[in-house]
Amino acid sequence: MNSHYRVVVIGGGVVGTSVLYHLAKFGWKDVCLLERSVLTAGSSWHAAGGFHALNADPNIAQLQAYTIDLFEEIQEESGQNIGLHMTGGLTLAGTPDRWEWLQSAYRTFQSIGIEDCRLVTPEEAGELCPIMSTEGILGGMWADREGYIDTTGTVHAYAGAAKKRGASIFEHTKVESLEQTADGWRVITDKGEITCEHVVNAAGLWAKQVGRMAGIELPVAPLKHHYLISDTIPQLEEIDFEVPMTVDLEGFTYLRQDQKGVLLGIYEIDHEHWALDGAPWDYGIELFQEQTDRIENELTLGFERYPALQEVGVKTWVNGAFTFAPDGNPLVGPVRGKPGYWCACAVMAGFLQGGGVGKSLAEWIIHGEPEADVFGMDVARFGDFAENRQYIKETTGQFYTRRFVMTYPNEQLPAGRPLKMAPAYSDMTEAGCRWGVSYGLEVPLYFAPKDFVETPTLKRSNAHDLVAAECKATREAVGLLDISGFSRFEVTGEGAEAWLDHIMASKLPAPGRAKLAPMLSEAGKLKGDLTIFNWGDGTYWIMGSYYLREWHMRWFDDHMGEGVTLSDISDKMVGFSLSGPNSRKVLERLTVDPIGDLKFMGCGSYDLGLLKCKIGRLSLTGELGYEINCSASEHIALRKMLLEAGADLGMREVGFNAMLSMRLEKSFGIWSAEFTQGYTAAQTGMDRWIDWDKEFVGKAAALAEQSGSGPAQKLVMLEVEADGADASGYEPIWSGGALVGFVTSGGYGHTLGKSYAMAMVNRELTSEGTELLVHVVGAERAAKVIAASPCDPAGKAMRG
């Protein structure tokens, strides 16, 4: 063991060895892995080893597809047999909603280029898995590239391939502490000290402790998970193929063949946590006693789905621990304030996602950003609020319990809520507000009568008419929206202007003005669709998406300039927006200041009644609008004052569902849909805000795209002939039988009474009037490209 390495990876499971392998594969040889026991000791050795295509996040599904492609490569490169069984896989649907969802998911896979899937009938499913009862099955989805592997062999294949490329591995070497240095990290082990530039926490069940060694509290928790391996099943001895990897979503089970028996795994409703502060250091190749009473209901469903199990015994029980994050996705990436410290934790589906995680993290360490958009597993998607023990326990337990439970797009889940609430939360709840959640904060969705209950659905909700009424009130009078769920960063100091001018690709606003500002990475990919406010006193604000707070703060910190003071004031400053033709009239009743002189995209400080507020004249609805910011202690008073002033002007409180409908009618893109770190400014039309005459982060890459052939796909507006359901995102778009794009977001335009979608399509098909086809909840619908901003295309309302 050397005294210095460029990277030290902590943890010898499938994730740690994959990270090590990819670092070496991409050219970094001076890297090592430390394992406190032996490779696989933890969760890897007892994992079921199944792999499948399905994931709710299409970006993660693509990384899973990469992992599956990698299996044969590492087997050949290492010379280690990984026991690869490409049996194919079945995902079953046993309710009408689930079958509808599966048909929709099938189309999503097509949109991201996964072409080895098809829908199957119950009869075909029964032929593919002859030991299965098809009673109650409405259909299924078949995927060619699903199956299982030998978990121990796979870890050793990653490790062997890494060593062949120059990496080092040291077993029986326990990390006892970490110390941050000027150049990186000092890793203190029971075998001596190592210095390194980068340290990777891939410690699995011990990730919590390795995080605390660096002063980091990771939102991870281990839960127990059961599977059984049956004795030989006579029926399997009679067929000449292996039964497929089969997931029975309504039965909470997954099944694969194991020699001439089967492995049956269970995601039980009655979950059980273990070792919330991390596994004991001496835990390793161990299991818990099976708890058949806790899994009785799911076990019964499994034996009913596979009747052959009722005729044979159980050869082996496995009850082991896996580590979960609050939403079930991995925690990957750098940690703000800890240069050179990287996470590769909570990879619950390690053998399915480990290859993609290793690739992305290695790219991130070496090149500064991963090739894929990995926000869905970025450690920065959680903030300090997620460090709370009870929050972690509630949310990880909820995810585990709902692993195979269908969640609808309009369904709100209860775990970890309510946590953060704007001051007017109670008053708004009394007024009928229904809430969603963003980064731990309750945000308004819509307002409803006291006894109204929204029905979960894949189609248009029974809240449809309520949202329509909110849109109508906003377009015709004035809507009041709580905008506490926007991020706000304050920038001051002698270097503030120069720093903002460098990090933002747009021109900066003049004093008393606001400006839309794209922010790019060095590779020319989007890092934000932000709004910059110049308050005229040397103070700037950056406003954006509330749930990107930690993500953006990490970016700002990594690119900080001299003489700049940056503060996240998102929880100190809150507010409301007014949108609609009567917006100005409401404000004129509350101030003697010349609010009527405030031009579109102007901003300033105004007295409203007893309050001093910062006001910007802009609106995401496309109407005459104002964003009114106040301190958190003034939030209740501001709401009351605005409601009283607008009482006879048709004012109505509205939620973000209405705002999203109205922004779609204006073709205003939003982050995580039209704008992501996977897209460039030219793809999305954000290049129209770029100031090409200055230097800024990402300029070289953006110029190269502009001077080259340009992006292969561009953002367009679609009108869809929908029927009771609207596109939401990642639906495939077709022309002449060929896949030509996908939906970025969609919904119903209540003002114009039409279904719309924004979409990335091949650039030769972006002309107005181009006829296309799109799948909406699995059903084929006609669509056509239309001009942007079908509602008030000239923008007269918001500029009036």
- pLDDT class for 246, splitting at 50, 70, 90? very high
pLDDT score for 290: 97
539: helix, strand or coil:
coil
Among 323, 349, 367, identify where a domain stops. Answer: 367
pLDDT of 404 higher than 80: yes
What single-letter amino acid sits at 180? Q
Q: Burial level of 256, CB count in 10 A (0-12/13-18/19+)?
A: buried
280: helix, strand or coil:
coil
Among 344, 367, 390, identify where a domain stops. Answer: 367
582 near 646, Cβ under 8 Å?
A: yes
Decide if 195 is inside a domain: yes
Q: Burial level of 430, CB count in 10 A (0-12/13-18/19+)?
A: exposed
pLDDT score for 114: 84
What single-letter amino acid sits at 81? N
Decide if 295 is inside a domain: yes
pTM: 0.96
Q: What is the CATH number of the domain that holds 19?
A: 3.50.50.60
Decide if 442 is inside a domain: no
Positive/negative CA dihedral, 235, 240, 244, 245:
positive
Positive/negative CA dihedral, 287, 291, 294, 300:
positive
Tell me how far CA of residue 525 lies from CA of 169, 452, 542, 687, 729, in angstroms: 35, 43, 19, 11, 20
Q: Distance between CA 505 and CA 283 in Å, rounded?
A: 51
Query: pLDDT tens, 47-73?
Result: 999 998 777 677 888 889 899 999 999
Q: Report CA dihedral (792, 793, 797, 800) to the nearest 10 degrees.
A: -150
Query: pLDDT tens, 440-498?
Result: 999 999 999 999 999 999 999 999 999 999 999 999 999 999 999 999 999 999 999 99
Averaged pLDDT, 384-394: 97
Q: Burial level of 51, CB count in 10 A (0-12/13-18/19+)?
A: buried
Query: pLDDT tens, 627-669?
Result: 999 999 999 999 999 999 999 999 999 999 999 999 999 999 9
- pLDDT class for 336, splitting at 50, 70, 90? very high
- pLDDT class for 709, splitting at 50, 70, 90? confident
59: helix, strand or coil:
helix
pLDDT score for 496: 98
Cα distance between the two ends of the chain: 71
The whole domain housing 236 covers: 4-333+336-367
Among 347, 367, 387, identify where a domain stops. Answer: 367
Decide if 472 is inside a domain: no
pLDDT of 354 higher than 80: yes
Decide if 376 is inside a domain: no
- pLDDT class for 617, splitting at 50, 70, 90? very high
Averaged pLDDT, 302-317: 97
Decide if 618 is inside a domain: no
Q: Distance between CA 607 and CA 592 in Å, rounded?
A: 8
Tell me how far CA of residue 636 lies from CA of 446, 487, 571, 633, 646, in angstroms: 18, 19, 14, 7, 16
Q: What is the CATH number of the domain that holds 757?
A: 2.40.30.110
492 near 565, Cβ under 8 Å?
A: yes
Q: What is the mean pLDDT of the chain?
A: 96
Query: pLDDT tens, 111-151?
Result: 888 888 999 999 999 999 999 999 999 999 999 999 999 99
Q: Distance between CA 594 and CA 587 in Å, rounded?
A: 10
Question: What DSSP assignment string belongs to 199-257?
Answer: EEE--GGGHHHHHHTTT-----EEEEEEEEEE---HHHHHSSSPPPEEEEGGGTEEEEE
pLDDT of 571 higher than 90: yes
What single-letter amino acid sits at 42? G
pLDDT score for 16: 98
Decide if 509 is inside a domain: no
Q: Distance between CA 580 and CA 624 in Å, rounded?
A: 5
pLDDT of 707 higher than 90: no
Averaged pLDDT, 176-181: 98
Catalogue the E-assigned strands of 354-419: none
Decide if 49 is inside a domain: yes
pLDDT score for 315: 97
Say how many domains are in the chain. Answer: 2
Q: Given its phi and psi angles, is residue 273 left (phi above 0), alpha (psi -120 to 50 degrees) or beta? A: beta
Q: How many CB atoms lie within 10 A of CB 708?
A: 9
Query: pLDDT tens, 485-530?
Result: 999 999 999 999 999 999 999 999 999 999 999 999 999 999 999 9
